[in-house]
Structure 1
Amino acid sequence: MSTLEIKDLHVSIDTEQGKKPILKGVSLTINSGETHAIMGPNGSGKSTLASTIAGHPRYVVDSGSITLDGEDVLAMSVDKRARAGLFLAMQYPVEIPGVTVTNFLRTAKTAIDGEAPKLRTWTKDVKDAMAQLRIEPEFAARNVNEGFSGGEKKRHEILQLELFKPKFAILDETDSGLDVDALKVVSEGVIRANEDGTMGTLLITHYTRILRYIKPDFVHVFVDGNIAEQGGPELADRLEAEGYDRFLPATAQA
C-alpha cells in the first residue's frame, strides 16, 4: 500500500503583472488502487496540480506539502519523482526530434528501474502493449511525438504508463481530442496498467465520457484553485446534468 498525500497546497506562477496564485489550499489523499477524478471548469487549477506533482519548474509552491509514502516529493528532482513511482500523462505531449519511440521507451525504463530491461522480454512487452493499444509496428521507429496525431500522442502516453508501471498515474485530460474508438482503447490501457489493483490514479477531465470506462472511486470538483465539492461516482453524473454553474459566482454566470 502506497499513499500520495497533498496537504494545504498553495501554488502560484510569476507573470508580468506579478505573482498569480492558482492553487489555494488543496488537500487530497490517494491510496494504492484508488481512482480519483478531478473535474471542473477551465482555469480552475486542475492541470496546475498535475504539473506541480510532477515538478514543472514554472509552478512555485508557496506553502503546503506533497508526500509519497512519507517522503517529501517537493524536495525531489523531476527524475527522482519518476523513479519514486510518479507518472504524468501530459495534456500536451512535446515533440522530441531525433529520438525514436523505441530508444525513448527503453532509456526511460532503464532510468526509472536503475537497470536496463532484458532485451528479449522487453521487446515482447513493447510489441504486446502496442498491439493492445492498436499502435502499428512502424510507430516504434518514429521520433517521439513528431508529426503524431492527437490520438497517437495520447496512445503513446498510455503505452509508457503500461510499460513503466508507476505507483501513481496522473492523467491530465488524456481523453481530450479522442474519438469514441480511441477513447475506449486508451481507457482499456489505463485499466490494464492497474490490473493488479496497486496503482493509484488521478484522472483530470472536463467530461464524464471517460468515466464510463474508468470508474472513479472518488470525484472532486475543482473551482478557483480548490476543491469545492467531493463525493462518489454519482457526483460526476450530477455535474454532467447540471454543469458547473452552481459553483461559480453570479457575475461569472451572467
Structure 2
Amino acid sequence: MSLEIRDLHVDVMTESGPKEILKGVDLTINPGEVHAIMGPNGSGKSTLAYALMGHPKYTITSGSVVLDGVDLTHLAVDERARTGLFLAMQYPVEVPGVSVANFLRTAKTALSGEAPKVRTWVKEVNAALASLDLDPSFSARSVNEGFSGGEKKRSDIAQLGLLGPKYAVLDETDSGLDIDALRVVADGVNRYLADGTHGVLLITHYSRVLQYIKPTVVHVYMDGRIVASGGPELADRLEAEGYEQFEARADA
C-alpha cells in the first residue's frame, strides 16, 4: 500500500508560458512512515504537494504517482481523494456559507459512498474537534471563514482524523503556530499514524515540528528535486548549517 512517486516532472503555467518546477522527484512512502521534505523558499515544495493532489494549474509532463497500485497521474482531484490521498494546504481557503459540519459530512459521504449515521457522526465530529482543542460550536462556522491561523491548521487535522486517508500530504501545517498549537496539531497527526497503516509526507521549513512528529526519513529538496536524504539528524544539521552545503548537488 505504498505511495510511489517516480521521476516526476511538473510544469506550472506562467504569464510567459509553462515553466518546469519539478525536475525528477523520486520518493516512496510506506505505511507507518513519515517523510519530511525540507528546502528553501522557491524550491518547489508546495508545487509537489499540489501536483500530487491534481491541482489544475500544475501539469505532470512525465513520471508517475501510484498509490496502492493505482496510477493517480491522470485522475481528477476527487478521484485521487477517493483512492486515499489527502492534502492539508499551506494556506487553507475560505468557503463562506458552508459549515464545517456539512463540509465534513459531505466529504465523508463522497469518500465512503454512503452518508454516515447522523447520531454517531455528530459524536465523532465533536470528539475530533475536542481532541484538537476546538469547541463543538466550531462545527457551525463556515469553513475557514474568520478562522485564526491555528484554527485553520487544527481544522485540517480534524478532517484528517475523521476522513482517515491512506496517505496525507501536509504542506507547512506547522507554519504560524505557537508552541501550544503545534503540540496539539502534532498530537493529532500522531494519532492518525498510531495504527501503522497510514503514511505522511510532511513539508516544512523548520526542524521544530520534527521534535513532535518523528520522521522516518528527512529529504533535502532543492530546485525541484530531492538532493539528499537521511535520518532525523539531517534536519538538525540543516537547522544549524543551512542549505548552502547542498547547492552543488542541486546544480549537478
The TM-score normalised by the length of structure 1 is 0.96
Equivalent position amino acid for 1:118 in 2: K
CA distance in 2, matches of 1:195, 1:127: 20
Once the two structures are TM-superposed, the CA of residue 17 in structure 1 deviates from its matched residue by: 2.0
**2:204 corresponds to which residue?**
205
Q: Give the unaligned 5+ runs of structure 2.
A: none
Matching of residue 184 in structure 1 with residue 212 in structure 2: no
Instruction: Give every structure 1 segment of 4 or more consecutive aligned residues whose post-TM-superposition deviation is greater than 6 Å.
Output: none
Shift of 1:236: 0.7
Alignment-derived partner of residue 85 in structure 1: 84
Per-residue CA deviations over 1:149-198 (Å, capped at 9, x if unaligned) read 11111011001000000100000000000000000000000001122111
Aligned residue-pair number: 249
Q: CA deviation at 1:248?
A: 2.9
> Please, what is the CA RMSD of the aligned residues?
1.1
Unpaired stretches in structure 1, ≥5 consecutive residues: 250-254
SS of residue paired to 1:148: coil
CA distance in 2, matches of 1:19, 1:75: 18
The residue aligned with 2:161 is: 162
Structure 1 position 37, deviation (Å): 0.2
- The aligned amino acid for 2:21 is I
SS at match of 2:213: coil
Name the % identity: 67
SS at match of 1:44: coil
1:64 aligns with 63
Deviations 1:77-102 (A, max 9, x none): 11111111000011111011110011
How far 1:51 sits from its partner (Å)?
0.5
- The one-letter code sitting in structure 2 at the alignment partner of 1:149 is S
The TM-score normalised by the length of structure 2 is 0.97
> How is 1:128-147 mapped onto 2 (pairs within 5 angstroms)?
128-147=127-146
Paired amino acid for 2:84: G
Partner-residue secondary structure (3-state), 1:25 = strand
Residues 43-81 of structure 1 deviation map (CA, whole Å, 9 limit, x = unaligned): 111111110110100001111111112211012111111
Cα distance in 2 for partners of 1:128, 1:14 equals 42
Distance in 2 (alpha carbons) for counterparts of 1:150 and 1:39 = 21
What's the CA shift for 1:18? 2.3
Query: Partners of 2:78 and 2:60 in 1: how far apart?
Result: 18
